[in-house]
A and B are shown apart, each in its own frame.
Chain A
């Protein structure tokens, strides 16, 4: 059987983020702070067929190496994603985007009475991952849970 033609060309050096839930690729690009003005060559494929997800998005960025904090954020928005590091057209590293055990700083607790929502206290919100599938984080201060939908809503509304 002939291989399906690739929608976008292979990249030489850079990062491919695969298995992004359909429709989330633009949010992930924003989370990575890629606006298009940085000069990277970026390919974005949305809503392609996927065995695992039904439909998925893919991002390819030529010349970009992901920082660990970017991987953490991607993992929260696309916990099934695979991150491929490409060198000389070959995938040299393949890793799953796994949400970190502790998420500190960039998510907010949704409990208005939580001490982390007080503007005059020097405290960073901190969450512990208690379940990976479905993703669920618990505030280390007040104990309230954030579901995947809560997390996605927060990250997407900010970007």
Chain B
């Protein structure tokens, strides 16, 4: 089902695709040693045209843990990109060297273009402000692990819902499941885009857009936090004004359910205060650690079925 497929956007994936990946990740976590040579002799190429720490390293780790090999384009300032080579030619080269290509790029649609050029499967590790499908897989898998289900949960997404590719992919991925209710919590400037709203309506997801976290905190099973970037605000004072309302502190968690799981795609700057890290709600580091088994599951399913 996933064998040989490109992974460009969450919208190309079905609920069954997600479940297949989750089931494989479960198996990997149960008996990792059984997976240590399944991709022996296979090569994954990574081409990150934008900075990345977690995503790049977790893809590398995933491939190495499956017994495969990794080649990396390196920093674009030091590669042929610096000489003016375009994306298409770079992808053609990687296609001839590797069995699967992982790409991150600033431009929207870059991964789709790469997939059209390459014969080998292409995995989008983030392009533009919409798509980060493997992050969404990890996010949903984390929810499934912490709550043993995704259906029926009340979920809040906090922060930059307009430009954040992790939040956009997460919201799109939730439409594949039957959640109880979705709260979209953001300043008015960073509300979800119309097409996301249309997607939610089409999928029949019950959702509400709110500006403040306090009013809804007590209802949430999952709170997905994200970074509000200063550069999204033309006026710095406006940024300073809204920022405080979107910081999760011990105080803001007073009405939270015991079972609340706080997730964050990381890196965080100051949107979750450090005092939260030691509470039972803080699941973001465990969530990040799940990046490796989920990407292992994906690589295995794409390369071997």
Contact = CB atoms under 8 A, between A and B. Distances in A.
A118 B81 CA distance: 14
B294 to A, nearest CB: 24
Interface residues of B, number: 18
A137 to B, nearest CB: 13
A118 B87 CA distance: 10
Interface string A130-152: 00000000011111110000000
Interface residues of A, number: 17
B237 interface: no
B109 A116 contact: yes
Contacts, number: 51
Contacts of A144: 108
A123 B108 contact: no
Contact of A141 (B88, B113, B195): B113
Interface in A97-148: 111, 113-116, 118, 120-123, 139-145
B227 interface: no
A115 B108 contact: yes
Nearest to B87: A121
B197 to A, nearest CB: 12
Nearest to B105: A115
By secondary structure, the A interface counts as loop
Contacts of A142: 108-109, 128, 130
Interface of A: 111, 113-116, 118, 120-123, 139-145
Interface of B: 9, 84, 86-88, 105-110, 112-113, 116, 128-130, 195
22 contacts: A111-B108, A113-B106, A113-B128, A113-B129, A114-B109, A115-B109, A115-B113, A118-B107, A120-B86, A122-B86, A123-B88, A123-B113, A123-B116, A139-B109, A140-B112, A141-B113, A142-B128, A142-B130, A143-B9, A143-B130, A143-B195, A144-B108
